[in-house]
Amino acid sequence: MALPVEIPRRQLFIDGEWREPVHKKRIPVINPATEAPIGDIPAGTAEDVDLAVDAARRAFTRNRGKDWARAPGAVRAKYLRAIAAKIIERKSELAKLEALDCGKPLDEAAWDMDDVAGCFEYYADLGEALDGKQKAPISLPMETFKCYILKEPIGVVGLITPWNYPLLMATWKVAPALAAGCTAVLKPSELASVTCLELAEVCREVGLPPGVLNIVTGLGPEAGAPIASHPHVNKIAFTGSTETGRRIMTAAAQLVKPVSLELGGKSPLIVFDDVDIDKAVEWSLFGCFWTNGQICSATSRLLIHEKIAKEFLERLVAWAKNIKISDPLEEGCRLGPVVSEGQYEKIKKIISTAKSEGATILSGGVRPQHLKKGFFIEPTIITDVNTSMQIWRDEAFGPVICVKVFSSEEEAIELANDTHYGLAGAVISNDLERCERVSEAIEAGIIWINCSQPCFCQAPWGGNKRSGFGRELGEGGLDNYVSVKQVTKYTSDEPWSWYQSPSKL
């Protein structure tokens, strides 16, 4: 079957040029909807990372007054806006490439491309505004001193990103890093790198100065680990699993290198008994099955008030069975395949373990009968869950909801906080005072009221506990890549006179 768009055969993007990996190896791109190879990507290694970091360092400090770090914010913003415009120009193609690469439904992928462009535009504005904040004065108690704050780019940054939102998650890091004046080495997931390599082509087309953004694809141990431990990378920003985050943090710690980590989650969604059930059911589905359930913030622990539990679950199952599961390029697809065979087997094992531990698979949990190929799993609803089960404690990262019933607000909050994670949470109720109360009580970095999963680049994103630390997006997203320097000046013509000159003795 002919592909709707061919996978371009790209190389690594280093110093503004396409370069073959030092070891000339490549990794196949597998279409998760068909299990067939549809292209390949370059497999970079530590040697390629060295070249990319060297290029980024030269771009950061190429010539005093002409390097990326010292360029006016307005100059950097011009490039970011040009990238945004080119993304919109290629939106249809990029969305199809992403759907082919990671199984994301085409409508979602198109939506993501709009968000990519919007994020570059947003950080273009913030980067431009940095020019007016370069010497922020501080009031001091002594008139003989003046003090101001300089906000400077932190240096060369290593950006390691996941496969569930390939280009968008990369943009969340690339856009603020470049806006702040940093130069970067991006390492996207080997499971979905195609659109990130197309970002390289976009940067080349808009004339981004060589070395400002370098993209090294490859396996985590061979390309990601060398970035995390590289002595000339000044900061690491990572989104992915908690286990990989631990390894990156350990590597960075050897050089006392700052890191920001956006890791896993097992987020709760609390539904009280005063809701419009159909509205709450849809948000419950959207909160966990959007992006094929592969969302770190998925509200995959569903807590339902006992008064509505029976009716709610009946409708939840009926709505879930009505979700269109298909090839992600098919019109109206609302659930595509998970990204890889490895992820598919992991999810099936988690479902099987839940059943063996005594939980009930109320709906789904198997391959759809009409799809004989591809890594497809029906949307899965699991009940009779207790808090010691793996399905309650561990992230499935697939279309799997586990359900518990509660009787009081206090019990709901206790269940919501019964997790090592703290990325997100949601509460649905017509009592807005209760929503505010519960929002403050849930231990998480992101809370949704009467919805689940909306995300805007203007608002901070990040978690607590084992979900990581630091915040992306919003103004804090730019601060991730800024170093704050204090400059204090002695302004008096009089000597300090703490010590005496020998000539006056």
Q: Please list the active-site residues.
A: 262, 296
Long-range pairs for 253-260: beta carbons < 8 A, 24 or more residues apart: 254/229, 255/229, 255/231, 257/233, 258/154, 258/234, 259/235, 259/470, 260/235, 260/236, 260/462, 260/468, 260/469, 260/470, 260/471, 260/472, 260/480
Residue among 185, 161, 291 at smallest CA distance from 239: 161
Give buried/exposed letters for 19-47 (b at 16+ CB in 10 A, else e): bebeeeebbebbbbbeeeeebbbbbbbbe
DSSP state of 208: P
d(CA 268, CA 300): 6
d(CA 258, CA 208): 26
**Is 381 strand, coil or helix?**
strand
Q: Would you state the structure tokens that stand for residue 339, as one six-digit string?
A: 């990204």
Sign of CA dihedral 21, 22, 24, 27: negative
Q: Would you state the structure tokens that stand for residue 35, as one six-digit string?
A: 């299990």
Q: Are strands 17-19 and 12-14 parallel, antiparallel or unpaired?
A: antiparallel
d(CA 108, CA 112): 6
Torsion of the alpha carbons at 235, 236, 242 and 247, rounded to the nearest 10? -80
Residue among 482, 478, 470 at smallest CA distance from 124: 478
Q: Which amino acid is it at 376?
A: F
d(CA 499, CA 505): 11
CB distance 398 to 302 below 8 Å? no
d(CA 192, CA 212): 22
**Is 4 strand, coil or helix?**
coil
Strand (E) or helix (H) holding 347: helix 341-356
Q: Would you state the structure tokens that stand for residue 15, as one six-digit string?
A: 């110093």
Q: Are strands 36-42 and 136-138 parallel, antiparallel or unpaired?
A: unpaired
CB distance 67 to 60 below 8 Å? yes
